[in-house]
Amino acid sequence: MSLVIQEQVSLRPYNTLAVDVRARFFVAVETLEQLRAALAWAKQREIAVFLLGGGSNLVLAKDLDVLVIHLQLRGINVLSEDDEFARVEVQAGENWHAFVQWSLAQGYSGLENLSLIPGSIGAAPVQNIGAYGVEVKDHLESVLVYDRYAQQTQRLSEKECQFAYRDSLFKRESGRRVILSIIFKLPKQATLHLDYGDLRGYLNKQGITEPTPQAVSRAVCEVRAAKLPDPAQLANTGSFFKNPVVSAEHAQKLKEQYPHIVSFVQDDGQVKLAAGWLIDQAGWKGLRQGDAAVHAQQALVLVNHGNASGQQILQLAAQIQADIKQRYGVELEIEPNIIA
Q: Could you give the residue numbers annotated as active site?
A: 166, 239, 335
32: left (phi over 0), alpha (psi -120 to 50) or beta: alpha
Q: Which of 29, 38, 56, 60 binds ligand FAD (CB under 6 A)?
A: 56
Q: Which of 110, 118, 211, 244 binds ligand FAD (CB under 6 A)?
A: 118
What residues from 66 to 85 belong to the interface with ligand FAD (CB under 6 A)? Answer: 71
Q: Find out whether 270 and 252 touch, Cβ atoms under 8 Å.
A: no
Q: Find out whether 167 and 335 touch, Cβ atoms under 8 Å.
A: no
| β-pairing verdict for 140-147 and 177-187 | antiparallel
Q: Is 51 in the site for ligand FAD (CB under 6 A)?
A: yes
- Which of 3, 28, 35 is closest to 180 using CA atoms? 35
Instruction: Name the helix (H) or strand (E) containing 323.
Output: helix 310-328
Q: Is 310 in the site for ligand FAD (CB under 6 A)?
A: no
Q: Is 237 in the site for ligand FAD (CB under 6 A)?
A: yes
In Å, what is the CA distance from 92 to each residue of 102, 115, 140, 144, 339? 15, 17, 14, 10, 21
DSSP tag of 183: E
Q: Is 131 in the site for ligand FAD (CB under 6 A)?
A: yes
Q: Is 122 in the site for ligand FAD (CB under 6 A)?
A: yes
Q: What is the dihedral sign for C-alpha 166, 169, 174, 175?
A: negative
Q: Is 119 in the site for ligand FAD (CB under 6 A)?
A: yes
Segment 282-286 long-range contacts (CB within 8 Å, at least 24 positions apart)? 282/320, 282/323, 282/324, 282/327, 284/320, 284/323
Output phi, psi for 189, to 5 deg: -105, 115
Q: Is 19 in the site for ligand FAD (CB under 6 A)?
A: no
Q: Is 124 in the site for ligand FAD (CB under 6 A)?
A: yes
Whichever of 67 and 124 has its CB closer to ligand FAD, that residue is 124
Q: Is 126 in the site for ligand FAD (CB under 6 A)?
A: yes
Whichever of 109 and 120 has its CB closer to ligand FAD, that residue is 120
Whichever of 77 and 174 has its CB closer to ligand FAD, that residue is 174
Binding-site string for ligand FAD from residue 153 to residue 182, where x marks contact by CB under 6 A and - marks none: -----------------x---x---xx---
Contacting range for ligand FAD; rule: CB under 6 A; set: 100-108, 124-132, 206-214, 311-319: 124-132
From start to end of the chain, where are the E strands? 6-10, 22-29, 49-52, 58-60, 64-71, 76-81, 85-91, 130-131, 134-135, 140-147, 152-157, 177-187, 235-239, 245-246, 263-265, 271-273, 288-289, 292-294, 301-304, 337-339
Q: Is 57 in the site for ligand FAD (CB under 6 A)?
A: yes
| β-pairing verdict for 76-81 and 130-131 | unpaired
Q: Is 240 in the site for ligand FAD (CB under 6 A)?
A: no
| Amino acid at the residue 124 | A
Q: What angle do CA 289, 293, 294 make, to 5 degrees?
A: 135
Contacting range for ligand FAD; rule: CB under 6 A; set: 32-40, 121-129, 245-253, 310-318: 121-129
Q: Which of 9, 16, 39, 332 binds ligand FAD (CB under 6 A)?
A: 16
Min separation Cβ 49 and ligand FAD, Å: 9
Min separation Cβ 41 and ligand FAD, Å: 18
Contacting range for ligand FAD; rule: CB under 6 A; set: 157-165, 215-223, 234-242, 318-326: 234-242
- Residues found near ligand FAD in the complex (CB under 6 A): 16, 51-58, 71, 92, 117-120, 122-124, 126-127, 129-131, 170, 174, 178-179, 228, 231, 236-238, 337
